[in-house]
Amino acid sequence: MNPLISAAELKDRLGEVRVLDARWQLGRDDGREQYLAGHIPDAVFIDVEHELSRHGEPSEGRHPLPDDAALAEAARRWGISDGVPVVVYDDHRMLSASRAWWALRRAGLDDVRVLDGGWPAWQAAGGEIATGEVEASGGDIVLGSPGSTGTIDTAGAAAWPQTGILLDARAGERYRGETEPLDPIPGHIPGARNLPIARMLTEDGRFRPASEIAAAFDEAGADGSMPIAAYCGSGITAAQLALAGELAGRDVTVYPGSWSAWSNTPGLPVATGEE
């Protein structure tokens, strides 16, 4: 199944799908306020910081995954029911929507897609806009308990470059250690290769064609002949790289703790520059 849906297709399918609004941006806490001011009709707001993440120790990173049971409870609270397709969107280049897609997919929800281009694409397509809160009736979905499926921890990330390709989805200047606006140490995991998420997207915040995404993976050495894992700052952009991999036919394991976990774990090596 294509993990993306266009605004035009979603317009035709409103009423048949459960729409989730995952608006969130790092350093901002007004996602709900933006949602209340205008959203896709019948969309339910989901809280990235508290429902798609949990509080953890610094060594777990800024956005540790929620417990399996907590995610399952949240999914029912969002009104997800068995057999009903799910569409997730946000307003910032599909970052948080990709996190929701990845979390739900690894928990066994097959029919979940991301609105390509998000809220801006919906507006550009002339989609109807609703305001205020949508209270979903309780869903009945029974999610699986994936545990660590599809993920690696810090020890796994350290060992991965010995047998696979570890991709760093951050911007090049952060990968090289030239700047670090969020975490205590600049640089990257030794052996990791840089594949900035910006290479996956067009200027207007949509995914590039699958052939172009595949070519970018190939250029980074991630042609699918070896296992691929990805990390970023805190595990959200890495989930978007996993979605990009799905488009290109590449299976991508995610390191949820990412650089925020690595840089907060004493004694781990750090690389800088292009190596």
Which residues does the annotation mark as catalytic? Answer: 232
Statement to judge: residues 116 and 178 lie in one domain: no
Statement to judge: residues 119 and 35 lie in one domain: yes
Statement to judge: residues 101 and 203 lie in one domain: no
**pLDDT given for residue 257 in this prediction:** 97
Q: Within a domain: residue 231?
A: yes
Q: Is 265 exposed, middle or buried (0-12, 13-18, 19+ CB in 10 A)?
A: middle
Statement to judge: residues 113 and 158 lie in one domain: no
Q: Within a domain: residue 115?
A: yes
Closest CA to 236 of 34, 70, 26, 71: 26
Q: Within a domain: residue 139?
A: no
Statement to judge: residues 119 and 8 lie in one domain: yes
Q: Within a domain: residue 62?
A: yes
Statement to judge: residues 120 and 160 lie in one domain: no
Question: In total, how many domains does the chain have?
Answer: 2
The Cα-based distances of 100 to 28, 86, 106, 131, 153 in angstroms read 18, 10, 10, 22, 19
Q: Within a domain: residue 257?
A: yes
Range of the domain at 94: 4-124
Q: Of 108, 124, 140, which closes a domain? A: 124
**pLDDT given for residue 72 in this prediction:** 96
Q: Within a domain: residue 168?
A: yes
Beta bridge mates, 194: 168
Statement to judge: residues 111 and 203 lie in one domain: no
Statement to judge: residues 170 and 100 lie in one domain: no
Statement to judge: residues 8 and 103 lie in one domain: yes
- DSSP code string of 126-153: T---B-S---PPPP-------TTTTB--
Closest CA to 136 of 203, 86, 186, 63: 86
Statement to judge: residues 106 and 25 lie in one domain: yes
Q: Within a domain: residue 99?
A: yes
Q: Within a domain: residue 136?
A: no
Average pLDDT across each block of 10 residues of the chain; the chain has 275 residues. List them in order. Answer: 95 95 87 95 95 93 95 96 96 95 96 97 96 91 94 97 97 96 95 97 95 98 97 97 97 98 96 89
Q: Of 124, 144, 169, which closes a domain? A: 124
Q: In sequence order, what E strands does the chain have?
A: 4-5, 18-21, 44-45, 86-89, 112-115, 165-168, 193-194, 228-231, 252-254
Q: Are 252 and 168 in contact (CB under 8 A)?
A: no
**pLDDT given for residue 27 in this prediction:** 73
**pLDDT given for residue 245 in this prediction:** 98
Q: Are 32 and 133 in contact (CB under 8 A)?
A: no
> Which sign does the torsion angle of CA 146, 19, 112, 255 carry?
negative
Tokens representing residue 90 in the block: 């946000």
Closest CA to 195 of 224, 162, 166: 166
**pLDDT given for residue 137 in this prediction:** 82
Q: What is the CATH number of the domain that holds 166?
A: 3.40.250.10
Statement to judge: residues 254 and 188 lie in one domain: yes
Statement to judge: residues 203 and 96 lie in one domain: no
Q: How many other C-beta atoms are found inside a 10 Å radius of the C-beta of residue 36?
A: 15
